[in-house]
Amino acid sequence: AQKITQTQPGMFVQEKEAVTLDCTYDTSDPSYGLFWYKQPSSGEMIFLIYQGSYDQQNATEGRYSLNFQKARKSANLVISASQLGDSAMYFCAMREIDGGNNRLAFGKGNQVVVIP
Amino acid sequence: DAGITQSPRHKVTETGTPVTLRCHQTENHRYMYWYRQDPGHGLRLIHYSYGVKDTDKGEVSDGYSVSRSKTEDFLLTLESATSSQTSVYFCAISPGDRESDSPLHFGNGTRLTVT
């Protein structure tokens, strides 16, 4: 069964606007971690932000924030003030602490294109 | 820079030949991983290692084997390459003391084409 779901089609966003990337997950573990990665066209995987299942506050890292809704099992990434360099694939990932042997499972990704 | 080097960066090989990809880290981290990336599938875990000589299978391990005889090296072997193994292969490490909340750091990938 798919653990991480990213279903949005490719997105175009105007420079300087905010964009939200959806991610829903499926787990029965009470303890887990959620991660977002960016993959630009050059191919490298860049870690952006982390949210723990017990964290009380939504994670933020610069222009990146995570809208964590635990009851709905969603962990949407918000990129504020988009820049041309934000054009990339974005992957949501989850690590289940108890039942997943600490392995990281990835969604299929969201493509974002920032237009000037 | 997480100190991860993958080699080769690109390889073209013929169906039925053995292929070994190497991942080398410079920081003695315990956990290492091999993923493959294919369009429409995201990244899928092939094998991982939690120490020297300690390895386990991921979700797409058929047709692959791994070895870790030293902390710094994690080798992925395709015993007899098939066209379905054409992919981009990423090695990753988990650098934190608490593996649970440590993000993976990735190498730059190996693009393998099986003809």
Question: H/E/C letters for each residue in chain B?
Answer: CCCEEEECCEEEECCCCCEEEEEEECCCCCEEEEEEEECCCEEEEEEEEEECCEEEECCCCCCEEEEEEECCEEEEEECCCCHHHCEEEEEEEECCCCHHHCCCEECCCEEEEEC
- Residue B9, pLDDT score: 96
Residue contact A106–B43, C-beta within 8 A: yes
Interface probe, candidates B99, B108, B110, B112, chain A, greatest A C-beta count within 10 A: B99
Q: Can you list the residues of chain A whose pLDDT is less than 70?
A: 1-2, 98-102
- To the nearest whole Å, the CA of A105 is away from the closest chain B CA by 7
Q: Are strands A60-61 and A11-14 parallel, antiparallel or unpaired?
A: unpaired
Please give the single-letter amino acid code of residue A70: K
Nearest-neighbour CA in chain A from B26: distance (Å):
18
B5 touches chain A (CB under 8 A): no
Cis peptide before B8, with omega less than 30 degrees from 0?
yes
Does A44 lie at the interface with B, CB-CB under 8 angstroms?
yes
CB-CB neighbors (< 8 A) of A45 in chain B: 43, 90, 92, 104, 106
Interface check B62 vs A, CB under 8 A: no
Per-residue pLDDT of B53-71, as tens digits, reads 999 999 999 999 999 999 9
Number of CB atoms found within 10 A of residue B39's CB: 9
User: pLDDT digit string (tens) for B9-63?
Assistant: 999 999 999 999 999 999 888 889 999 999 888 899 999 998 899 999 999 999 9
Q: How far apart are CA A6 and CA A25, in angstroms?
A: 9
Residue A49 near residue A68, CB atoms below 8 Å: no
Residue B41: closest CA among A108, A88, A39, A109: A108
Query: For residue A69, what are the contacts with CB-CB under 8 A and spacing of at least 6?
Result: A75, A76
Please give the pLDDT value at position A48: 97
